[in-house]
Structure 1
Amino acid sequence: MNVASVTGVTPVHDRLARFDRFGAAEGVSSLGGRTFLAGALAACAMVGGGRDGLAFGQSNAAPTAAESNLPTVSFAIPAGPLDQALKGYEAATGLKVKTGISGDKLAGFTTAGLTGTYPEAEGLRVLLVGTGLQYRLDGKTMVVGMQAREDVTVQADATMPLGQFTEALKDTPQSVTVVPQFIMKEQAITTLRDSLRNVPGISLAAGEAGAQGDNLTIRGFTARNDIFLDGIRDFGSYYRDSFNYEQVEVLEGPAGIEFGRGSTGGVINQESKRPLDHKLVSGAVQLGTNLTRRVTVDVNQPVGEIGGGGAAFRMNIMGDEANVAGRDVVENRRFGVAPSLSFGMGTKSRATLSYVHQGENDIPDYGIPWLLDGPSPAKRSAYYGFRHGNFINTHDDILTLRLDHDVNEHASFRSITRFANYPRNAQITEPQVCSNGAISPTTGLLLAPTNVLNSAQLCPYNNGAPSDPSTILVNRNQITVASVENDLWQQDEALLHFRFLNIAQAVVVGVEGGREMSNPTRFTFTGVPTATLLNPNEDLPFAGTKTLSTRTHLAADSAGLFFVDTVHLGRYIDLTGGIRYDYFYTQQRQYTASTQLNTFLYRIDKKPSYRAAFVVKPTASGSVYFDYGTSFNPSAEALSLSVSTTVLPPEENETYELGSKWGFLHDRLSLAAAIFQTTKNNAKETSPANSTITVLAGNQRVRGGQVSVTGRLANQFDFIAGYAYLNSEVIASQFYPNAIGAPLANVPKQTFNVWLNRALGLRFTGGLGGNYVASRSASSTIPYVATAWTGTTPANAVVTATRLKQVPGYWAFNGVVQRPITERISLQANINNILNRSFIDEPHPSHLVPGEGRNALFGLNYKF
């Protein structure tokens, strides 16, 4: 199966353990949906059993002395449901079998049966083969539970891993999708971007001038600043590797209460690996046809008891080099190390100190240029930069201390302190065929585009029809920045469970704050040689005169206080209400070289956010919910201010969502669906006639729905699928009236993902999946470009035809085949973009990044 998805049938902390296809337990921490790989329901033991759920740290391969003294018994237990088989085992042996698994969850397990004469302990072991469960002998009782091996995390309470959430996922009124670690391994995913292809409603975007890192939209609105690491904003502009992920969580819909500024369409949280209470060594080696060379190592070592509790050390290491199939010159080189140390494990007071370093040294890719309303006829492989002149260097360091204390079953506290430092140095070539030319503020349409090499003349087209493409020149715009961002942050939360007037309450009270800083120095270049559209020379020596543009120092001081209360009105109804108050003070000093002026700007925003929701639970297997929430986007959200934005109050957003989550066939089939509307009531717009004028005059809206389904059927047939429909539009605009009714930037009307997994025989397993992304437009303010005109210069040009500036939709298919060699070593082969489709993966208003061509990865996975 692909991803523990959905708008949430499964409780978020149902830690799903599976017995993998070569006999070793492998698991996943899952926020949403059922991950129904072979034996995935093993972890559901924790749902119905409350705190009776059991976990085992040792395999039962070698019987204990007590087990060896048990008598030999003749068994005749047929294949079928495990609950019936365990009753047969009790009748045959006289032993009692105890599980922490509720009856409806236990019904999801099956066994191959047991026939023949076995010692009683060995008989139970054989009966449990393939279920992911283990046993231990307690007097005359066989206690059945889960084996705690690699990647298996067991938590008795089915709650969100994020402290801001108190309820099981099926009772949480929000769409949630989770990509667990084992899915990333199965799909050979190495980056955050690729993991998000498993989430409906998300579309990827190309990097921007001020942010050369992960960029995307959630439900139609940019989420570049809504990426979190273990619940704290991960602001750095870098391309995130997945080597230290336990899982990736996407919360779509209102999230302003829990996460503060931004979060218009939702947020993304990266959940880090943490030390475990058992020894572990695992990793992988991968080689690819795109010259991938990747090694990962994951080592966990308990170090005994310190201060009355268990302690453990974990280290994750990654090295990665790869080209991009179908693209010339581009190279990605990353190194990462992530040590962590935990104390007090198994006690009421716990502490974890963790550090993550990721370094990157890439030859970056800003793809190919636009031509009129679509991608230029350039070859997919064409590289318009300079092999020896373009680079991205990042060296990110994140140090985190987390403290947890459980007072009793009614109260617990969490405190997180983080310091993060994100240095980066980049010089990137952005290919441009014609600028966006003169714009008429009265029509909001582009006039005939002008040649960036000679602004007095039109581009070399014949009334919109491209002339001989071999004669078209491409401007190599240099985007150059050297910057350091850093963050010092403190977050404290209290989780309270109590009864007031005999009504059960679950309350979260939190306070957080700190300082974020950004210090970019930007340069401009003149005299950079051009390229031809059809035959760019990437080996041409870089030439150009570098000039300082701006030097900026910005500091933002933030503080947020929030309160969320969930009231349980009996068995069937939950009511949730919350409020948050944010203080955001930004000050910026900037030196502009062209004017030799120093400017000082500042802005203070004080803004509340609200949330209200109710959940109706007609049965234990399903829920229906309604959710309302607000959020805001301050002018300095991205740690940048200008003279025009410093006087603007925040943009304001509100979201309505109606959804339902259900489990069928004893939760072997899960379905979730939601419809929603998000409105940005006062979007920022920059005047086309004067770029120094920005106003809050635009309104934008996205209406849509999404559905997710996961299932585990007969013959180890597991599947997951997700579909999202997004109807986005500009509903009001001061400067661009002709844009009203046009779709928002980088918002496909439809997205779809599917992944199927099945045993193939001879110990092989195989998976096949695909993604569909519909067409997307480049801009929400000026979505239309001139495609025909009369005249020879911008002054006398008259536009006679326009079209929407957009990229076409695409399908891409991927597959995997796996086979164990030994109990601890397996081989894996992945093929990505099986049909070698050529498509635009990441659009930007000024450039387009093609998707990677067909490539194969061959890996060896190991664990000890």
Structure 2
Amino acid sequence: MKHKAHKTAAGKNRAMLGRGRGWITVGTLAAYAAAGGTKSALASAVKTDPTAADGAGSTLPLKRFDIPAGPLDAAVKAYEHATGLTVKIVLPAGTLAGFNSQGVVGLYREDEALRLLLDGTGLNYRVEDAATMLVGVQSKDTISVTDSVTNSVSLTKFPEPLLDTPQSISVVPQFVMQDEGVSTLKDALRNVPGISMAAGEAGAQGDNLTIRGFTARNDIFLDGVRDFGSYYRDSFNYEQVDVLEGPAGVEFGRGATGGVINQESKVPQAQQFVRVQAQFGTDLTRRVTADINEPEMDVLGGTAYRVNVMAQEGGVAGRDYAEVRRFGLAPSVSIGMNTPTRATLSYFHITESDTPDYGLPWFNNKLAPGSIRHNYYGFPDENYLKTNDDILTLKVEHEFSPNLNLHMIARAANYPRQAQITEPQICSNAPLSVPVGGFVSSLPTSAVNTALPCAYTGASDLSSIIVNRNQIQTKSVEGDLWDQTEVTARFNTFGIRHALVAGVEGGQEISNPIRYSYTINKINTVPTAMLIDPNAQQPFGGTGYISSVVHTKSDSVGLYFVDTIKLGRLFELSGGVRWDRFDTGYNLYQPTPPAGATVTANVPPISRIDEQPTYRAAFVYKPSTHGSFYFDYATSFDPAAESLSLSIGLANSSAAPEENETYEAGAKWSFLNERLLMEGAFFHTEKDNARETDPTNSNNIVAAGNQLVKGVQFSVVGRLPEGMDVVAGYAYLDSDVIFSKFYPTSVGFPLANVPKQTFNLFITHRLGWHLNGGVGGNYVGSRTASSTVPFVPTSYGPAQTFAPGSAPCGVTVTTCYEVLSTAMKQVPGYWVFNAMVRRPLTDRLELQANVYNLLNRYYIDLPHPSHLIPGAGASALIGVNFKF
């Protein structure tokens, strides 16, 4: 047992404020050093930075140019020959001959190469359609191509523009994250319809979410490789975030039932720049980020260095003791940028040391009553979440010809994690949904002492309710060694054009969690708290012991190809096949526990091998260069050890993996010269062999359920004139359990954490006095807590005794309780509104202020079957953005 002296809240805030002064000093010195140290070098920097607006262009394919300085008309012809694009000149006949170009030599994106050709001429350009550029004397504010929306992703698995890709792909670009002041992956994803957030689990912290109704905790990727760690992801090194909705098993392997999330990292650029942002806000929040890029294009065929740095510390609005402390570092170097062989080596490190908050307790079917919004039920000086993640990535690509490329990415990742988090509980969870008139064998038990019935009802005095402080304590290391090699080729057969992507990938993933318990003789030995007035300064105590030690290792390999066939100008067919082998070894043991402790059965080494094909087929009709209609069919699978965990029942079972099948039909259209992209889709996803855990034996997990999600979604992303940016989305999800072996009463009820409707909107617009303002919000409909127990009994009749073997609540019991009433176990829907205002002071300096949860709404943001995390209250950030 360990006791620690606890600081008062006031003392804690004084300590944070003291640290804040240090932060201000460090941030000021860093900005001064960056400005002074790079002044001479930056004097010759390119004036226009195409990555500054939204980063959209950085994802376009690179091409090699060798256009010498000379007359502009000759340079334009050479550009057309190199790119296959058509350049229309919006000038009087013969005028172009009076212009000279500085030329362009090296590896550039198509848009950047044209910008360089026109540099110094006074001319500008815009995209008319996918094959045409317009050049003329027009205002850059109204025609700059950098104002177009993103129409591609960095993943070479998707060689066609998003407009022609037969799948719902939502991109959260850099300009949206900047406008909204986004600092986490979770907040970036609030701009995507069909996604809902959930709280971390006992064995896994970090980002937890569902896509189109299915969990996607293990479907988060970083530059196309699975990002397996359980940590909260920061956005400081994001170029953009891609959300590919619908099964993506052919491209990504296991999982991907509802879709995948890909984080695109910032990479070195050919332009020199330095960007520093300092933010200060309510709840003693301080955040400093820096993005420094330094090219040396005459070294090793073109070399560039880039480093992104982030440091943040602060509280959470409305949650007095929760704290966030993060530091991130992401250096990278690219070589051979002007050669056929290019390589980028990057390192990503993020450290987190938080005071975590698992929020508020359930009571029967809803959030516990009373004025508890700001209550903290943990131990501020004893609870912690510490992660220390390191990811090393090498990317190499070789261009054999403009139509044949080889790509390789290799990664070594290490994800250490330590956590001790307090989960507030009042009563135990109901193991089954029992309708009115049904019988149960026992009443809910006290969460403090599971040998006693729960003493509280809806009529109980709130000041008398005791809350159990369940300790979730774990220490774990996850790791990943991975290699992915891919070929992309464009060729013709019998006059038919093909775009082929084929690859092989594989590697090893490990997970070694150690979990602890504080329960002795069914009693939690940690001090309890009162529901209405918990004592956060109470000394921590309890008898802790190791409840399980797990070792898991998975070796996997995948082979895949996807071919897109272009049948003239109007039609495209695409199809792909993938084969995966997933081999997992697992064992679990427990050191000798103390007397009366919970005993975990040791599991000798067990293994399971799953081999599974996945398929994709799609049809695209393109009536215009500005839009397309498509139909897509795809499959994916979830092996038993998908999350690197196994049970004896699943390991020894011959049951197939979970299998998922999706049909999707949709349309995509761009307007206003690619400034506005609109998408809409209807989809139908069904999961077979859904895994279920026997409520009477947690080791008995079977693949026997069936689940269905169908719905529609729409999204709009635009960069319009007058500084108007818009991002909006709507999704309607109709989810159902359609068969369940252990939970038949759940049939017809919605899946866990699947709101019927979600909506997001954020609009910015140029105002007077050189101001830009933005406003928007999110709506998330009500969500149930569990797919297997969607509703719970709320009142019971007296005990009834039955003859042995005749009880309606089980053959081994004689006492039953009739269920008199039930209610859905769910959290209500909510609206949240945010706002932004930004004003440039100079061409290098601007101020930005963001306000979140304008109306200070009290809502549940992250639900879990055993606890509820409320959304942050009203808060504000004021930032200073420097560009050099």
TM class, shorter-length: 0.7 to 0.9
Match of 2:486 in 1: 493
Question: 2: CA distance between counterparts of 1:749 and 1:363?
Answer: 33
Match of 1:570 in 2: 568
Superposition deviation, residue 796 in structure 1: 4.8
User: Of residues 457, 467, 477 in structure 1, which corresponds to 2:460?
Assistant: 467
- Residues 1:363 and 2:383 aligned together: no
Instruction: Confirm or deny: 8 A CA contact 1:55 1:145 kept in the other structure.
Output: no
Match of 1:651 in 2: 658
Superposition deviation, residue 96 in structure 1: 8.5
Superposition deviation, residue 144 in structure 1: 10
After superposition, the CA RMSD in angstroms is: 3.5
Instruction: Confirm or deny: 8 A CA contact 1:23 1:823 kept in the other structure.
Output: no
Task: Return closer, same or farther for 1:85/1:763 CA change in 2, 3 Å cut-off.
Answer: farther
Match of 1:164 in 2: 157
Question: 2: CA distance between counterparts of 1:653 and 1:369?
Answer: 34
User: Of residues 818, 821, 824 in structure 2, which corresponds to 1:804?
Assistant: 824
User: Of residues 830, 855, 879 in structure 2, which corresponds to 1:835?
Assistant: 855
Instruction: Confirm or deny: 8 A CA contact 2:797 2:817 kept in the other structure.
Output: yes
TM-score by length of 1: 0.84
Task: Return closer, same or farther for 1:279/1:99 CA change in 2, 3 Å cut-off.
Answer: closer
Question: 2: CA distance between counterparts of 1:619 and 1:517?
Answer: 48
Name the amino acid aligned to 1:199: V
- Residues 1:236 and 2:202 aligned together: no
- Residues 1:617 and 2:622 aligned together: yes
Give the secondary structure class of the aligned counterpart of 1:450: coil
Task: Return closer, same or farther for 1:424/1:722 CA change in 2, 3 Å cut-off.
Answer: same
Task: Return closer, same or farther for 1:714/1:152 CA change in 2, 3 Å cut-off.
Answer: closer
Match of 2:21 in 1: none
Instruction: Confirm or deny: 8 A CA contact 1:54 1:146 kept in the other structure.
Output: no
> CA-to-partner distance for each residue in 1:323-353, whole Å, 9 max, x for gaps?
0000120001000101101100121100000
User: Of residues 2, 16, 27 in structure 1, which corresponds to 2:53?
Assistant: 27
Give the secondary structure class of the aligned counterpart of 2:188: helix
Kindly tell me the number of residue pairs found equivalent between the two proteins. 773
Name the amino acid aligned to 1:840: I
- Residues 1:402 and 2:395 aligned together: yes
- Residues 1:627 and 2:632 aligned together: yes
Match of 2:642 in 1: 637
Question: 2: CA distance between counterparts of 1:368 and 1:605?
Answer: 40
Residues 646-685 of structure 1: matches in 2 within 5 Å? Answer: 646=651, 647=653, 648-685=655-692
Question: 1: CA distance between counterparts of 2:258 and 2:760?
Answer: 19
Question: 1: CA distance between counterparts of 2:213 and 2:169?
Answer: 16
Instruction: Confirm or deny: 8 A CA contact 1:54 1:145 kept in the other structure.
Output: no
> CA-to-partner distance for each residue in 1:597-640, whole Å, 9 max, x for gaps?
45111100000000000101111111110000000011110011
Task: Return closer, same or farther for 1:750/1:849 CA change in 2, 3 Å cut-off.
Answer: same
Instruction: Confirm or deny: 8 A CA contact 1:160 1:167 kept in the other structure.
Output: no
Name the amino acid aligned to 1:163: T
Question: 1: CA distance between counterparts of 2:216 and 2:391?
Answer: 21
User: Of residues 215, 222, 226 in structure 2, which corresponds to 1:222?
Assistant: 215
Question: 1: CA distance between counterparts of 2:750 and 2:703?
Answer: 19
Match of 2:25 in 1: none
Name the amino acid aligned to 1:541: P
- Residues 1:844 and 2:861 aligned together: no
Match of 2:448 in 1: 453
Superposition deviation, residue 788 in structure 1: 1.8
Name the amino acid aligned to 2:835: G
Name the amino acid aligned to 1:612: A
Question: 2: CA distance between counterparts of 1:154 and 1:720?
Answer: 13
Match of 1:249 in 2: 242
Question: 1: CA distance between counterparts of 2:101 and 2:625?
Answer: 25
> CA-to-partner distance for each residue in 1:437-496, whole Å, 9 max, x for gaps?
56489979896422123445432334xx24111111111111111010000001000001
Question: 2: CA distance between counterparts of 1:846 and 1:830?
Answer: 33
User: Of residues 531, 549, 552 in structure 2, which corresponds to 1:554?
Assistant: 552
Match of 1:340 in 2: 332
Task: Return closer, same or farther for 1:743/1:54 CA change in 2, 3 Å cut-off.
Answer: farther
Instruction: Confirm or deny: 8 A CA contact 1:45 1:53 kept in the other structure.
Output: no
Question: 2: CA distance between counterparts of 1:132 and 1:787?
Answer: 62
Give the secondary structure class of the aligned counterpart of 2:186: helix
Question: 1: CA distance between counterparts of 2:783 and 2:630?
Answer: 31
Give the secondary structure class of the aligned counterpart of 1:211: coil
Question: 2: CA distance between counterparts of 1:447 and 1:744?
Answer: 26
Question: 2: CA distance between counterparts of 1:838 and 1:446?
Answer: 37
Superposition deviation, residue 787 in structure 1: 1.5
Task: Return closer, same or farther for 1:822/1:487 CA change in 2, 3 Å cut-off.
Answer: same
Superposition deviation, residue 774 in structure 1: 0.3
Give the secondary structure class of the aligned counterpart of 2:579: strand
Question: 2: CA distance between counterparts of 1:250 and 1:832?
Answer: 24
- Residues 1:535 and 2:533 aligned together: yes
> CA-to-partner distance for each residue in 1:231-288, whole Å, 9 max, x for gaps?
0000000001111111110000120000000000000000001011121111200001
> CA-to-partner distance for each residue in 1:343-376, whole Å, 9 max, x for gaps?
0012110000000000000011111011111111
Match of 1:604 in 2: 609
Name the amino acid aligned to 1:856: A
Question: 2: CA distance between counterparts of 1:494 and 1:389?
Answer: 51
Instruction: Confirm or deny: 8 A CA contact 2:432 2:788 kept in the other structure.
Output: no
Give the secondary structure class of the aligned counterpart of 1:395: strand
> CA-to-partner distance for each residue in 1:177-233, whole Å, 9 max, x for gaps?
111122212211111001000000000000001111100000000000000000000
Name the amino acid aligned to 1:797: Y
Question: 2: CA distance between counterparts of 1:267 and 1:528?
Answer: 39
Task: Return closer, same or farther for 1:52/1:27 CA change in 2, 3 Å cut-off.
Answer: farther
Task: Return closer, same or farther for 1:778/1:447 CA change in 2, 3 Å cut-off.
Answer: farther
Unpaired runs of at least 5, structure 1: 1-21, 31-42, 57-63, 68-82, 107-119, 134-140
Name the amino acid aligned to 1:635: A
Match of 2:699 in 1: 692
> CA-to-partner distance for each residue in 1:376-435, whole Å, 9 max, x for gaps?
125211111101110011000000111000100221000111000000010111111100
Further displaced range: 452-461 or 206-215: 452-461
Name the amino acid aligned to 2:581: Y
Question: 1: CA distance between counterparts of 2:601 and 2:663?
Answer: 49
Superposition deviation, residue 498 in structure 1: 0.6
- Residues 1:727 and 2:734 aligned together: yes
Superposition deviation, residue 710 in structure 1: 3.5
Match of 2:589 in 1: 591
Instruction: Confirm or deny: 8 A CA contact 1:515 1:557 kept in the other structure.
Output: yes
- Residues 1:263 and 2:256 aligned together: yes
TM-score by length of 2: 0.82
Superposition deviation, residue 803 in structure 1: 0.9
Further displaced range: 352-361 or 783-792: 783-792
> CA-to-partner distance for each residue in 1:17-42, whole Å, 9 max, x for gaps?
xxxxx997623244xxxxxxxxxxxx
Unpaired runs of at least 5, structure 2: 1-46, 73-86, 105-109, 112-117, 129-134, 520-524, 592-598, 801-808, 810-814
Match of 2:804 in 1: none
Instruction: Confirm or deny: 8 A CA contact 2:239 2:266 kept in the other structure.
Output: yes
Task: Return closer, same or farther for 1:286/1:628 CA change in 2, 3 Å cut-off.
Answer: same
Instruction: Confirm or deny: 8 A CA contact 1:446 1:785 kept in the other structure.
Output: no
Question: 1: CA distance between counterparts of 2:719 and 2:136?
Answer: 28
Name the amino acid aligned to 2:838: Q
Match of 1:785 in 2: 792
- Residues 1:718 and 2:725 aligned together: yes
Match of 2:753 in 1: 746
